[in-house]
Amino acid sequence: MIPIPQYPLYTATLAHFNARAIPYYLQEANEWQLSIVDLERALSEARGQGIDVRAMAVINPGNPTGGCLLEDNIAEIVQFCERENLVLLADEVYQTNIYTGTNPFVSFKKVVSKLQSSVELFSFHSISKGMVGECGRRGGYYEAVNIDAEIMAQLLKMASVGLCPNVQGQMAVDVMVRPPQPGDASFEQYQREVSDIFESMRRRAKKLAAAFNSLPNMSCNDAQGAMYLFPRVELPPAFVAEAEARGQQADAAYCMQMLEATGISVVPGSGFGQEPGTFHFRSTFLPPEELFDEFIDGFRNFHEAFIARYSQE
């Protein structure tokens, strides 16, 4: 079971292993929380088709949505997976990218421990996100909770096959999980740099969400976490019909026009999955802060001209 919208690597990996993706929809009207009713619907329909559903993946904080699950919602998910005998895969690589006080990051492991749940849990983290942001160096880890000892032995065998460990990635993981402590020579500089990066990202997230919500035919939830916004766009019917006549996804055509007109690259919602009949795109808020106003102005000018043009047809 995978969320919609989702990070496309999930469906690609499932296809590689000849497995089936069972989609469940995140609730845009409820700040991208999960609905247990929808989870039960998706699972029941899949099992009704004879599909052996083994696991459920959750991305929290969300990519591409920027949402962050509340603890009560996480508890519901844990109980659902325990009840339905599903392995829970918690993608938590954006856990330090939290920008609001309303939706703090809560790990699935914490909730599993609090509930004394027997659910089988794998939690994932990475050096490529957060304030470390070492995207060019690949490193991360997963933690296994309530996993049978024989399964852990097989996982160790698979890991041991790798004879060329990623030394730089391992060093970066060590620095991430054991950062400088008070009294260390680099502590003050580390704290200052992390704080500067975080506060800049928080300002940019807030500014971009406000800009999207100020535009016609567009609405956007605030970025509670991660590095993205996933605004919803009401594309004019004339444009949708034009794109379909060309055999194109309407949101993909919109994003391509934006790229050609402004040089701004965003990803159409159809690349992540979305509720039928809706259109979205994913935008980061990673352009440098000194260029951010220019970035927003370029987007605003394109979108307003686009809506005005196609609304007249």
pLDDT at site 142: 94
pLDDT at site 136: 79
Helix and strand numbers (H, E) in the chain are: 10, 11
Q: What CA–CA distances, in Å, run from 268 to 41, 178, 276? A: 27, 37, 14
* Mean pLDDT, residues 122-133: 90
Nearest to 177 by CA among 227, 226, 141, 221: 141
65 pLDDT higher than 70: yes
pLDDT at site 245: 96
Percent pLDDT > 90 in the chain is: 88
101 pLDDT higher than 90: no
For the chain, the distance separating the N- and C-terminal CA atoms, rounded to the nearest angstrom, is 41
293 pLDDT higher than 70: yes
pLDDT at site 164: 77
* Mean pLDDT, residues 24-43: 96
Buried b (16+ CB within 10 A) or exposed e, 62-95: bbbbbbbbbeebbbbbbebbbebebbbbbbbbbb
Residue 137 DSSP one-character state: S
Q: Which of 134 and 175 is assigned the larger pLDDT?
A: 175
Query: What does pLDDT average to over the chain?
Result: 94
Name the packing angle between helices 292-311 and 250-262 (round to 10°): 130
282 pLDDT higher than 70: yes
pLDDT digits (tens, 9 = 90+) for 237-260: 999 999 999 999 999 999 999 999
28 pLDDT higher than 80: yes
Where residue 313 falls among pLDDT bands split at 50, 70, 90?
A: low
pLDDT at site 49: 96
